[in-house]
């Protein structure tokens, strides 16, 4: 392990940290410089006892995002339509419902503090006002057709939104796309297909300087798509052998935290694909985010549980 070096925030990190400090985290939570070492070896996350299933039928927790002083996450069931609500967890142990009928899976926070949601109920990308629960459309169609079941989200410094669109919750509403794709929503609302060749793309994240888009899929690879002048180029696999890859996030060194659903773990990799650590849980996992008062608590969502693990390093809030 190399000694931590001063970290000069590239544009994407500055935008995310600005949103995190002003809107998602307390002022002391994330500094403009990176501190602490990334995890190494074998670690185990602990269940948060206060977060218990809110439904009698089976389902998943998804899309963790830390906003201001709380963790928000989707809680959806496998019953008809995959009904989903957004729940809120505060570190004092309080758990409440923030948005009752969100229809959401993956969540993110934009620079204005709004909740951006991948909503399978609407087969669209949505934006929610957390205070009122009011929803607005971000993107509803590509080439005249609704999406399959938007799943996970990454937001660039210029406001462009990238998202994955597998078919896992396609039955939530009629219609869909002929491919399972990766999409970009430009700041002006124009939607383009980044890649429509991969079966069920899932976790998505942007590199710290915003010049690389990372996406995993059911092909077992994390693929890196270079971004030039705002346009993603052809990708190359930087990590192979991912099992049931799901959501991802980054720490402030640029390391990738990749959830593996059925193996019940999060694996940590350098941007070059070298494995650093494995974080284990006791149930299937779906997604991961950094939060807490200092931005050094890793939150992991999954099957009927949310886990937490204190780390030495700060990371991104979704």
Ramachandran area for residue 52 (φ above 0: left; ψ -120 to 50: alpha; else beta): beta
Of 232, 259, 247, residue with least CA distance to 202: 247
**What residues are annotated to the active site?**
246
Cα distance between residue 223 and residue 154, in whole Å: 15
The pLDDT of residue 25: 37
At residue 96's C-alpha, the angle toward residues 48 and 57, to 5°, is: 75
Number of other CB atoms surrounding residue 101 within 10 Å:
13
The pLDDT of residue 28: 30
Cα distance between residue 104 and residue 253, in whole Å: 30
Cα distance between residue 127 and residue 85, in whole Å: 14
The pLDDT of residue 184: 98
The pLDDT of residue 21: 38
DSSP secondary structure of 222-234:
EEEEEEETTEE--
- Secondary structure (3-state) at 11: helix
**What CATH superfamily classification does 57-245 receive?**
TolB, C-terminal domain (2.120.10.30)
| 187-205 pLDDT, tens digit each | 999 999 999 999 999 999 9
Residue 151, marked binder: yes
Give me the tens of pLDDT residue by residue for the chain, a chain 318 residues long.
333 333 344 444 444 444 443 343 332 333 356 879 999 999 999 999 999 988 888 999 999 999 999 999 999 999 999 999 999 999 899 999 999 999 999 999 999 999 999 999 999 999 999 999 999 999 999 999 999 999 999 999 999 999 999 999 999 999 999 999 999 999 999 999 999 999 999 999 999 999 999 999 999 999 999 999 999 999 999 999 999 999 999 999 999 999 999 999 999 999 999 999 999 999 999 999 999 999 999 999 999 999 999 999 999 999
CB 152 within 8 A of CB 118: yes
Domain boundaries, the chain: 57-245
Cα distance between residue 43 and residue 285, in whole Å: 15
The pLDDT of residue 31: 38
Q: Which residues contact 312 (CB under 8 A, 6 or more apart)?
A: 36, 37, 38, 39, 296
CB 119 within 8 A of CB 161: no
The pairing of beta strand 41-44 with beta strand 135-139: unpaired
Calculate Rg over the CA atoms of the chain: 17
At residue 52's C-alpha, the angle toward residues 118 and 310, to 5°, is: 80
| 237-264 pLDDT, tens digit each | 999 999 999 999 999 999 999 999 999 9
Intra-chain end-to-end CA distance of the chain, in Å: 25
The pLDDT of residue 109: 97
The pLDDT of residue 237: 98
Residue 229, marked binder: no
Residue 112, marked binder: no
| 11-22 pLDDT, tens digit each | 444 444 444 433
The pLDDT of residue 32: 53
Counting every residue, how long is the chain? 318
The pLDDT of residue 5: 33
Cα distance between residue 315 and residue 69, in whole Å: 15
CB 185 within 8 A of CB 191: yes
The pLDDT of residue 56: 85
Side by side, the strands of the sheet bearing 41-44 are 41-44, 275-280, 265-269, 256-260, 245-250
- According to DSSP, the residues that pair with 47 across neighbouring strands are 307
Of 127, 78, 125, 77, residue with least CA distance to 99: 127
| 106-134 pLDDT, tens digit each | 999 999 999 999 999 999 999 999 999 99
Of 32, 10, 8, 11, residue with least CA distance to 20: 32
């Amino acid at each position: 392990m190399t000694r931590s070096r001063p970290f000069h925030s590239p544009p994407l990190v500055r935008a995310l940290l600005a949103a995190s400090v002003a809107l998602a985290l307390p002022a002391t939570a994330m500094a403009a410089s990176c501190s602490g070492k990334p995890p190494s070896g074998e670690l185990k996350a602990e269940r948060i006892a206060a977060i218990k299933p809110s439904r009698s039928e089976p389902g998943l927790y998804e899309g963790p995002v830390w906003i201001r002083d709380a963790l928000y996450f989707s809680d959806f069931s496998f019953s008809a339509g995959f009904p989903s609500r957004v729940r809120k967890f505060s570190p004092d142990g309080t758990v409440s419902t923030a948005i009752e009928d969100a229809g959401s899976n993956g969540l993110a926070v934009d620079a204005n503090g709004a909740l951006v949601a991948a909503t399978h109920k609407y087969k669209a990308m949505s934006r929610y006002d957390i205070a009122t629960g009011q929803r607005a459309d971000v993107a509803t169609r590509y080439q005249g057709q609704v999406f399959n079941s938007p799943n996970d989200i990454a937001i660039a410094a210029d406001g462009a939104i990238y998202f994955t669109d597998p078919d896992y919750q396609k039955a939530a509403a009629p219609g869909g796309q002929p491919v399972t794709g990766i999409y970009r929503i430009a700041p002006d609302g124009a939607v383009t297909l980044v890649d429509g060749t991969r079966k069920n793309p899932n976790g998505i994240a942007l590199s710290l300087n915003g010049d690389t888009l990372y996406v995993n899929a059911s092909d077992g690879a994390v693929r890196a798509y270079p971004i030039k002048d705002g346009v993603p180029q052809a990708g190359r696999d930087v990590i192979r052998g991912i099992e049931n890859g799901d959501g991802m996030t980054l720490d402030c060194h640029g390391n990738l935290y990749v959830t593996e659903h059925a193996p019940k773990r999060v694996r940590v990799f350098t941007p070059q694909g070298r494995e650093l650590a494995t974080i284990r849980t006791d149930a299937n996992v779906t997604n991961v985010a950094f939060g807490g008062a200092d931005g050094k608590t890793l939150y992991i969502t999954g099957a009927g549980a949310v886990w937490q693990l204190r780390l030495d390093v700060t990371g991104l809030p979704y």
